[in-house]
Amino acid sequence: MTKIFVLIGVILLGAILFVLIKAATLPNDFRVTRSIDIRAPREKVFTLINDLKVFNQWNPFAKQDPSTLITYRSGAVSGNGAAFDWQGGGSAGSGSLAIVDAESPASITMKLDIRKPMEGHNKVVFDLQSQAQTTTVTWTMTGPYPYINRVFGTIFNMDKMIGGSFDKGLADLKALAET
């Protein structure tokens, strides 16, 4: 019986050691990118991202918890300086999002600060490229990937978790833009 417990302990210790070593080999920064082709002019798509109130109509993170309170900061709701804070329960957490650079109609750069459930300070970029009668929208988020997050990342694939939300959001943006 003791041999079984020792064997289980060795296997468990080996698994933990594997996760810790694997996490140490992951990069210090993360990047999640998704793209979609939308049959709409680039200018129209740009306004659906650049106006934060419209942005939150298709933003999957704003829609994940209906009880989330979104507060738009005074001033513009679109373009450079536009920002909002959110406070939600569960996985919605709390944080803020601000447009730091909007180059009409080509790109929008945002600063995402998450306070809860896990602190994060990330950069979000929407790149819009025209091709014939379509606009290719590329949504990218980058940021630091602290060691504790990398430990979780060895178990839960962050690209798939966040990327799935990006895919859903881009599909909703496409539906809105093509109407």
pLDDT tens by residue, 83-96: 999 998 777 889 99
The tens digit of pLDDT for each residue in 135-178 reads: 999 999 999 888 888 888 787 777 888 899 999 999 999 999 99
CATH number of 2-177: 3.30.530.20
Per-residue DSSP letters for 21-66?
HHHHHS-SEEEEEEEEEESS-HHHHHHHHHBHHHHHHH-HHHHS-T
Q: The pTM is what?
A: 0.86
Tell me the domain boundaries of the chain: 2-177
